Amino acid sequence: MKIKSMIISAAALVIAGCSGFLNQLPLDSPSSDTFLSSESQVLSYVNGLYAALPSLGQYGCGVRSIEKNSDNIISEKYDPRINGELTAFGGESDWSAAYQNLRDINFFFHYYQVPQEAENDDLRSLCAEVHFLRAWWHFTLLKKFGNVPVMDGFWDGNATLEGLQIPATPRKDVALFILEDLEKAADGLHGRNRHSGLRICREAALAMAMNVALYEGSWEKYHAAGIFAAEDADPGLFFRKVLEYGDALFEIMPVSEGLNTVANDPFGALDGGDAYAHLFNQKDLSAVPEALFWKKYDLSQGLQHSLTVLLGAGVVDNEAAAGISKSLVDSYLYADGSFIDPDDRAFKDFNETFNGRDLRLRETVMSTGRKFRSSTISRPMKVDVYDPQGNVNPPRLSGDGNTRNLTGYHTALGVDTTYVSSSFWDTGLVIIRYPEALLAYAEAAEELGVCTDEILNITIRPLRERAGTAWKVPEKDPAFPDHGYPLSPNMQEIRRERRCELALQGFRLDDILRWKGHRLLEGQRGRGAYLGEDGILYRSFNMDDPQVRETIGMIPVDEEGWIDPLRDKLPSGYGFVPDRDYLMPVPPEDVNLNKELVQNPGW
């Protein structure tokens, strides 16, 4: 074994980076036939695989700022991909990290030695968790690169140039492999109740399978014509699988149990907005079934993050000045279920923007009365005529660094209202949530032409009603964002609901890409709140101070007075390249070494 490890290490130096999985030193080879042969060893190894999953970093906003890669957040440090600025090496870290994680996973399958007669339900569930994780990282690769080599085994024996000539698998087959792994996972996993959502569970595996099938089905449908078309595409196959997995999930966990509502919220929610917000601002989600799979933090154990601290200071993107887009704000309906008119002059009043709207809006975007810029003495945001006594506390449109807001819209999602003052905090992070399944089910049903009122009543309607919004039979919204093709009233409302329910949770770019929705990005740059001199936001600043007047006066606005943060930086809007940027580039080094790989279009 020692000789084998030395050979592999030498090969890794010669073929550095090839197929990603050789970018790290080999894991220790088993030193005896007892390696991974007991439950404690298996548990310890599988726990280590969890470390690569999404988390809230010690420093930074984590998932809350990811959507600067879409039309939900406007940042001075926008994601280069949406502006066509990604280089040929832009996919290198994503490719390498995924294959390194897959190597660790397949190492487990290769060296797992527990005799079948010694296995129990706990061990079978641990093995099922590893199938889930293998699916997770293959799905990551599928979304970013399309056709990729499926790493279905431990490849260290291939550590030569000849052995690494591994062709990419067509994306449809990659998706089917992922779903096969998730089916194996669902068959062997414990239910959520066993570990209160702190470990991968059966319900989470089914919800993820729905997401994977929906993604691939949508991609194959909307990219059917053009350079990104899937080989042997069969979108209906995947849409039907969404419904199949959904039926299995809903049998285990019906909607009445899966949604956190005022009736069952363990934290004493006062309304549906509270019940929604508690998924993002509480420390312990064990008693919240909607959190199918979540990560717990604990200050006493040194498991902590800085998200709450940053959000409390008004930060939207820890890397640069940023703000939530008006486009996202405009997505939320009135509480009576009617559409808003984004051009309504009433919204020139910052406070009016939030009145009588879907309750999720106030839980996602800071508004007057919401806790803001926490300190030893917390102060709520208050947008009103400037008061020398300091009672007015408007959005941070002035200042320097990442606390400066570009749009007037700060992030409220995830602000723990019990937070006072600390360098770090320990609110939990939901990784997979039950509403993802409801949204996927409704969308797949509509794609198949079978989305009845009955289906809407058990998927979209409960989400709306939890948010304090009356349910109305879908009608055509003339102001709905242009996706580049017509959408049925049902599909408009399903996509609207998806954007609102999953806002700032990392889904938006993936949705735009699978829908072939580049029209939402190309030539666009987003807007913010109204900052005309007749508006309350403008008057909430001390305009008698020449320095303040100059600072506010330098904020870019459009011809009607709405904040236009990137007007001078990107006068033509985002330069997303539709014939290239739907997929990331395969690392050139890997293409050069593995002659079986084909570079993605445009790169």
- The reported pTM is 0.94
Q: Which pLDDT value is given to residue 6?
A: 25
State what percent of residues in the chain have pLDDT above 70.
Answer: 93
* pLDDT > 80? residue 30: no
Q: Is the pLDDT of residue 121 over 60?
A: yes
Per-residue pLDDT at 22: 34
User: How far apart are the C-alpha atoms of 159 and 492, rounded to whole Å?
Assistant: 50
What does the mean pLDDT of the chain come to?
92
Residue 325 in contact with residue 525, Cβ under 8 Å?
A: no
- Flag whether pLDDT at 313 surpasses 90: no
Cβ-based neighbours of 99, under 8 Å, separated by 6 or more: 19, 20, 21, 23, 137, 141, 151
DSSP bridge partners of 323: 74
| 295 pLDDT higher than 70 | yes
Q: What is the pLDDT of residue 308?
A: 86
Counting residues of the chain whose pLDDT is more than 90, the rounded percentage is 86
Residue with tokens 């580039």: 585
- CA 33, CA 99: separation in Å to the nearest integer? 26
User: Average pLDDT of 131-141?
Assistant: 98
How far, CA to CA in Å, does 348 sit from each of 345, 408, 475, 536, 558?
A: 5, 12, 26, 8, 13
Give per-residue burial for 109-145: e unless 16+ CB within 10 Å, then b.
ebebebeeeeeeeebebbbbbbbbbbbbbbbbbbbbb
What are the structure tokens assigned to 314, written together? 């008004």
Q: pLDDT tens digit string along 39-63?
A: 999 999 999 999 999 999 888 899 9
Closest CA to 132 of 116, 154, 108: 108
pLDDT of amino acid 160: 79
Q: Is the pLDDT of residue 17 over 50?
A: no
Q: Does residue 24 carry a pLDDT above 80?
A: no
CATH class name, domain 1-167+574-603: mainly alpha
pLDDT band for 33, please (50, 70, 90 cuts).
low
Query: Contact 276/467 with Cβ under 8 angstroms?
Result: yes
The residue-averaged pLDDT of 441-459 equals 98
Q: How far apart are CA 113 and CA 42, in angstroms?
A: 10
Provide mean pLDDT across the span 257-283.
Answer: 97
Using the predicted structure, report yes or no on whether residue 21 has a pLDDT greater than 90. Answer: no
Average pLDDT over residues 100-129: 96
- Between the two ends of the chain, the Cα-to-Cα distance in Å is 41
Return the number of other C-beta atoms located less than 10 Å from residue 482's C-beta: 11
Lowest mean pLDDT segment, chosen from 30-39, 109-118, 136-145, 149-158: 30-39
Show Cβ contacts of residue 374 under 8 Å, excluding neighbours closer than 6 positions.
312, 313, 415, 419, 420, 421
Predicted confidence at residue 163, as pLDDT, reads 81
Question: What integer pLDDT is reported at residue 27 of this predicted model?
Answer: 47
Distance, CA of 27 to CA of 522 (rounded, Å) = 44
Cβ partners under 8 Å of residue 508, min gap 6:
67, 69, 70, 71, 72, 499, 502
Domain positions in the chain are: 1-167+574-603
Instruction: Give CA–CA dist 477/491, Å, rounded.
Output: 11
- Which has more pLDDT, 244 or 157? 244
Q: Is the confidence at residue 26, as pLDDT, over 50?
A: no
Q: Is the pLDDT of residue 81 over 60?
A: yes
Confidence of residue 235 (pLDDT cuts 50, 70, 90): very high
Measuring CA to CA, how many Å separate 309 from each of 349, 493, 536? 29, 34, 28
> Mind giving me the DSSP string for 273-330?
HHHHHHHHH-S--TT-TTEEEEE--BGGGTB-BSHHHHHHTT-S-TTS-EEE-HHHHT
Residue 202 and residue 125 in contact, taking contact as beta carbons nearer than 8 Å: no
Query: Which residues, 6+ apart, have CB-to-CB distance to 144 below 8 Å?
Result: 91, 94, 95, 583, 584
What's the rounded Cα separation, in Å, for the pair 109 and 14? 27
What tens digit of pLDDT does each residue of 503-536 get?
Answer: 999 999 999 999 999 999 999 999 999 999 999 9
pLDDT digits (tens, 9 = 90+) for 548-585: 999 999 999 999 999 999 999 999 999 999 999 999 99
Helices (H), ranges, 401-488: 435-447, 453-458, 460-466
CB under 8 Å to 6, separation ≥6 — which residues?
none
